[in-house]
Amino acid sequence: MTEMKRIDLALEKMKEHGFKYTKRREMLLSFLAEADKYTSAKEVYEYMSQQFSGISYDTIYRNLKDFSDIHLLEETEWDGEKKFRFHCDHHEMGHHHHFICTNCGATREIHMCPMDYFKEQLAGCKIEGHRFEIFGKCENCLVV
């Protein structure tokens, strides 16, 4: 699926959830789609403030959180900071997890889920959700 098609679908979903279309929101989603990695709210703010003077950090963070809540973005936390990325297309990719480079933020999909193992370990419990991420250095950051 092309990046433009992914953005168009995200904008449709945004509208379906009651969010108005704005050029700022489209640019925010496009920035994250192009980055293709987990990005901090600060990084998004720095980019957006170059494009739109007077935009506030609070506005950026609120939009990131709102878009995460409606599954346009994925979020994770490392080093005490929330990071966001444009949502992977689960319809094409299926259920998966991520390796995240702690140096550059690059991500790689892991097409395996360890939950079958844990389900056996937690017999009698009701699992309501999970998140599995592996952190380390990608091959490009190891070369440097």
Q: Which CATH number characterizes residue 121's domain?
A: 3.30.1490.190
Cα-Cα end-to-end distance for the chain: 32
Are 82 and 102 in a shared domain? Answer: no
Domain boundaries, position 114: 95-143
> What local confidence, expressed as pLDDT, does residue 53 receive?
92
Are 79 and 130 in a shared domain? Answer: no
Are 7 and 40 in a shared domain? Answer: yes
Pairwise CA distance, residues 42 & 6, whole Å: 24
CATH classification at residue 32: 1.10.10.10
Secondary structure of 54-68 as H, E, C letters: CCCHHHHHHHHHHHH
Pairwise CA distance, residues 84 & 135, whole Å: 15
Q: Is 125 annotated as a binding residue?
A: no
Are 51 and 69 in a shared domain? Answer: yes
Are 14 and 59 in a shared domain? Answer: yes
> What local confidence, expressed as pLDDT, does residue 79 receive?
80
Local mean pLDDT, 10-residue blocks, the chain (144 residues)? 84 95 96 92 96 95 96 87 80 71 86 82 86 90 84
Q: Is 88 annotated as a binding residue?
A: no
> 135: which residues sit within 8 A by CB, 6+ positions away?
78, 99, 100, 102
Are 77 and 131 in a shared domain? Answer: no
Pairwise CA distance, residues 90 & 47, whole Å: 27
pTM (2 decimals)? 0.78
Are 78 and 121 in a shared domain? Answer: no
Query: 78, 68, 74: which is closest to 104 by C-alpha?
Result: 78
Are 67 and 131 in a shared domain? Answer: no
Are 75 and 119 in a shared domain? Answer: no
Pairwise CA distance, residues 122 & 115, whole Å: 10
Are 63 and 106 in a shared domain? Answer: no
Q: Is 113 annotated as a binding residue?
A: no
